[in-house]
Structure 1
Amino acid sequence: MTQRITIRDAVLSKLQTLSSFTFPPPGTTEEIDPEKLPAIVVGFSTENTDHEMYGGSDRQLDLTVAAVVKSRGDVYAALDQAAEEIEHALQDATLDNTCDLFLLSQTQFALDQDHPLGEVRLIYRAQYSTEPSAL
């Protein structure tokens, strides 16, 4: 298992303490059932790598934690509540020592104008290092 999967699984483990959300399988491309909202999907966004002389690397992995909510009232209030719950669950700066540093870097909001749906995407950056190759 790669460090990317280890970090993703640690994020999912922390988020699954949030009992008000459902969790579609990681990497799913199927539409989320509106009856199972709110839902959280975790995925990779980008990874930047700085190589060291002897084969190791410093990496910055961006993960997206997307919460989809349905609300007949103020959808922004529902999105804000979801973001707050996610941020609270993911406040460990080393994500149980799965990485050197784990921090929120960006939050995005989107609405579906045809349905009472909204999505909040929280982008987290996980910094970690790989071991240099043996000489």
Structure 2
Amino acid sequence: MIQLLYISTSSRPVTPVIIDGICVQARHLNQRHEITGVLLCRRDMFLQALEGPQLAIEDTFLRLINDPRHHAVTVLSRRKVTRRTFGGLQLRYCAPRENCPEVYEDIETILEGASQIAASLFAAFAE
């Protein structure tokens, strides 16, 4: 099983309708492919952690890279894991940090020892 953490910029303004559509579609696909994770959105940026079988994660990430809603997709962390950090949910959605501080803490833990670029991108996202 692998865990992939990436950040991207939205190609258009993010609205609740857009987020709802993303979550409905992602939950359906994630359940089918045994993927769990969390999606955070802040202003025009997305940060997402995906966990699951390596092939399923790689296929999902390839779809995300080619999704016209995203650009400047940057991998912050990709690693093998033995357990899921974001547990039994196909996709948890979190708005600003105040709504789910524990998720931000989990991501900070994942990024311990990550590159300075990855840490800087997350810090900018978390402001």
* Global fold match (TM > 0.5): no
Rg comparison, structure with higher value: 1
Higher RCO (CA 8 Å, separation ≥ 6 residues): 2
Higher strand share: 1
TM-score by length of 2: 0.38
TM-score by length of 1: 0.36
